[in-house]
């Protein structure tokens, strides 16, 4: 866990919890004046080999919130994750927070309902589905929802004061990565437009990314707009070159090991099926070759 301190009134204190199994980063963002906070992208454990689930990965975050005396108002998912299961519903039950995500999760549910051969019904699972541009408050901090598709149709950034939770857009250590765009509904062109939208924020805006896959170094997850604009190697040659690079790289990436289990859970705020049985659609995705970074699943 690492803390990024508040920069003054309206600027949240942010705690990031890196989860090494899937390289995911879970966040707590708190208004320092009121002790109210939101949780972004909490992770539910899932072992693909045994299909065992657990909540051990999110417990350190909840313990920290309790130790700090924070009150959780919202638990949010930035998008329907493909690489891990969400713990939003579990966190809602533990904290009394409301659960929210982007409204276009309805469109992702339509795609995956077809793939699973069963209706996916996010409406009843979430307390709120946020439209692009909606705002809400966490104590004295304002949060703005920004639709940023590309990685998925439904991806949203939550901009809380000067802290943007940019999910799977920028990735990893500062100015290194961009998330893949090849899941159903993904689009490298839409990703480029989303990246430009993020870079239109003030240069000092803190960016908190969804993943890092460190190898022989500490995990990193905080960047800023000015750093990405100046140094991210994938942004320097324009939209056409970016789309060509992203699509070529995506052709080398295998599916995330947890994807077919994850979507049906994550479209429903991380709620497990009532009968405890998941659906696995067969022969719907072509096999990929896998490249040198085949472990980078998301």
Given the complex with Fe ion, which of 191 and 201 has the nearer CB atom?
Answer: 191
Given the complex with Fe ion, which of 83 and 222 has the nearer CB atom?
Answer: 83
State the number of binding residues for Fe ion (CB under 5 A). 3
Stretch that binds Fe ion, among 99-107, 166-174, 220-228, 284-292 (CB under 5 A): 166-174
Given the complex with Fe ion, which of 167 and 234 has the nearer CB atom?
Answer: 167
Query: Is residue 298 within the footprint of Fe ion (CB under 5 A)?
Result: yes
Q: Taking the complex as a whole, how short is the minimal distance between the CB of residue 82 and Fe ion, in angstroms?
A: 6
Query: Is residue 41 within the footprint of Fe ion (CB under 5 A)?
Result: no
Encoded one letter per residue, x for contact with Fe ion by CB under 5 A and - for no contact, window 81-120 reads x---------------------------------------
Instruction: Show the 3-state SS of the chain.
Output: CEEECCCCCCCCEEEEEEECCCCEEEEEEECCCCCEEEEECCEEEEECCCCEEECCCCHHHHHHHHHHCCEEEEEECCCCCCCCEECHHHHHHHHCCEEEEECCHHHHHHHHHHHHCCCCCHHHCCCEEECCCCEEEECCEEEEEEECCCCCCCCEEEEECCEEEEECCEECCCCCEECCCCCCCCCHHHHHHHHHHHHCCCCCCEEEECECCCCCCCCCCEEEHHHHHHHCHHHCCHHHHHHHHHHHHHCCCCCCCCHHHHHHHHCCCCCCCCCCCCCCCCCCCCCCCCCCCCCCCC
Give the nearest residue (CB) to Fe ion: 168
Looking only at residues 66 through 85 of this chain, which bind Fe ion when binding is defined by CB under 5 A?
81
Q: Which of 168, 212, 222, 224 binds Fe ion (CB under 5 A)?
A: 168
Q: Which residues bind Fe ion (CB under 5 A)?
A: 81, 168, 298
């Amino acid at each position: 866990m690492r803390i990024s301190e508040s920069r003054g009134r309206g600027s949240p204190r942010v705690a990031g919890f890196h989860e090494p199994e899937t390289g995911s980063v879970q966040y707590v963002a708190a208004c320092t004046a009121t002790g109210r906070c939101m949780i972004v992208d909490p992770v539910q454990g899932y072992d693909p080999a045994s299909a065992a689930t657990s909540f051990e990965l999110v417990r350190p975050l909840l313990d920290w919130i309790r130790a700090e005396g924070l009150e959780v108002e919202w638990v949010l998912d930035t998008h329907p994750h493909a690489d891990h299961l969400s713990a939003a519903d579990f966190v809602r039950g533990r904290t009394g927070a409301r659960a929210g995500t982007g409204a276009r999760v309805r469109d992702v549910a339509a795609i995956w309902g077809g793939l699973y051969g069963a209706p996916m019904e996010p409406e009843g699972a979430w307390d709120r589905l946020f439209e692009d541009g909606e705002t809400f408050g966490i104590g004295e901090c304002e949060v703005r929802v920004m639709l940023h598709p590309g990685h998925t149709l439904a991806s949203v950034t939550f901009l809380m004061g000067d802290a943007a939770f940019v999910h799977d857009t920028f990735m990893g250590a500062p100015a290194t990565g961009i998330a893949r765009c090849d899941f159903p509904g993904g689009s490298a062109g839409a990703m480029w437009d989303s990246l430009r939208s993020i870079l239109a924020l003030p240069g000092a805006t803190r960016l908190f990314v969804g993943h890092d896959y460190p190898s022989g170094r500490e995990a990193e997850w905080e960047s800023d707009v000015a750093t990405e604009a100046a140094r991210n190697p994938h942004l320097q040659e324009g939209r056409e070159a970016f789309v060509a690079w992203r699509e070529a790289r995506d052709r080398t990436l295998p599916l995330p090991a947890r994807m077919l289990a994850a979507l049906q859970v994550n479209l429903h705020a991380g709620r497990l099926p009532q009968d405890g049985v998941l659906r696995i659609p067969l022969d719907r995705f072509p096999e990929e070759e896998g490249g040198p970074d085949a472990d980078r699943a998301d």
